[in-house]
Structure 1
């Protein structure tokens, strides 16, 4: 494979290339779209929130340099046929996709007795959405023989599984599993070694995912919605959370290192603490502890000591 086909940020995120980004109306997706527009790329911004998507498109166009082209499409990523049609449109007349970011997500949670409508809705966007994106675009990206990167946006909650948001955790855990398998396939086959994938694992980020979830619930119930009642979002940032652009900057640095797992810290939690939390979670199996022992009262002191003992002095 020639150096010109190696998937690095410099070979992929450059003028003349094309990015397709879902969940692009706000947050991390919007920040990435603005970055790509500023690089002179053709940017396809995808979301279901038509008004916010139009505003985001205007911001991206303001960032655009000579040669940039910004397109926006209202597409439900949980609809595989709709994503296939989007792919056909992107690839019409010799088009291509060099950077695919499956970022659309919802924050719906619940416990083990969550109704199936909520489970299906959350899994449909958070898990099946990225799969649909990959099914629609990756085969064409393989055929192009051009360097490309696929980023799926996961979550730390899909690894450490904190109680209280089970459905969301399930959706992100399944996406982690899928993306790991995708990367193994890409690395193992000669016809796809010009491609690579990565699992973006944000920390606490000031996005509108929770705001949009609360707003949707309120509107479905015919109730008034007051954005100020939501704990945090992009226009009401929490001090402990990163801003979306910080996530993009960090992601690009990690991609440049060739990393697959892009585990983002935030202003409250550093990477070392994240690593120890994940290690403890996996050791529930190897140490024969009950699941989610980190949140069991009887393991509170042991977990605290585990952090204290293992954190670098």
Structure 2
């Protein structure tokens, strides 16, 4: 596909965290096909090296246009090193995709290490990545975008993985504040977008499955939808999948917000006294 947005012009530079697999790798490949220089950032290892070779094979300039830089986004100093290396190599950044994420699972009173690691990667990795890269992106005055990967779990906050929900809710609030700041900065040509994937078949969601479930989208479908949404100027990139369409997502989000407005118990969609009404509301068109 051809990307019709000035930030994605041929020769521009994209940095993607969590780029060794899943949505991040699919984005890296699509950007390379469209003539961007691509920096893949992920944990050091064979997976990152292989991903880099795959993306280089798609780029017009091969190794000259695509590089992998091992980066642990939970460590701000490594993100600072990443930014320095990218500027030294390519001069400027036009697309920043803060996409790295983990999901070790959590419970309210479970291991503290799970909470710490999820917050460090899924939330602070996004915050640090944005704060470290954004100033130079604003300064060079070319059109630029910052894409932060959130989650529907950060909006409707279903029971089962509270650390992940809290982190992704933080990404939503942070990215909203970021876009407000950018649009109110005189002369700023950087815009922010919140990517909210549906059910996507990746290593993070596979749970031991070796074949894509029928209800899931591929990472490539998600990236295509993301880019079309950015072209339209959408801030909230609310992705459907093969099981859940946009009207269903809208009703689920509206019901969750209604807990506050109607003074219902929290997470009433899963509450025995409200679950039936929630199902009826969500099913209504």
How many Å separate the matches in 2 of 1:307 and 1:22?
A: 35
The aligned counterpart of 1:266 is 241
TM-score, length-scaled by structure 1: 0.87
Partner of 1:30: 25
RMSD: 1.5
Q: Which residue of 2 aligns with 1:227?
A: none
1:300 alignment partner in structure 2? 275
Kept in 1, the 8 Å contact 2:97–2:146? The answer is yes
| Correspondent of 1:117 among 113, 116, 123 | 113
Q: 1:64 aligns with which of 41, 59, 72?
A: 59
> What runs of 5+ residues in structure 1 fail to find an aligned partner?
1-7, 212-229
Render the CA deviation track for 1:211-240: whole Å, top value 9, x for unaligned.
5xxxxxxxxxxxxxxxxxx343xx521111
State whether residues 21 and 46 of structure 1, in contact with CA within 8 Å, keep that contact through their aligned partners in structure 2: yes
Q: For 2:151 and 2:44, how far apart are their aligned partners in 1?
A: 22
1:46 corresponds in structure 2 to 41
**If the length of structure 2 is used for normalisation, what is the TM-score?**
0.95
Q: Higher helix proportion, which one?
A: 1
- Note the C-alpha offset of 1:146: 1.0
The Cα of 1:191 is off from its aligned counterpart by 3.9
After TM superposition, which residue ranges in structure 1, 4 or more long, deviate above 2 angstroms?
A: none
8 A contact 1:108–1:165 mirrored in 2: no
Q: Quote how far apart the aligned CAs of 1:244 are.
A: 0.1
1:9/1:255 contact within 8 Å kept: no
Shift of 1:303: 1.1
Residues matched between the structures, number: 282
Inter-partner Cα distance in structure 1 for 2:60 and 2:133: 26
Write the distance in 2 (CA, Å) between the matches of 1:189 and 1:45: 29
Residues 30-73 of structure 1: per-residue CA shift (max 9 Å, x gap): 00000111112111000015211111111101111247611001
Distance 1:93 1:248, change over 3 A: closer
Asked if structure 2 preserves the Cα contact closer than 8 Å seen for 1:157 and 1:172, the reply is yes
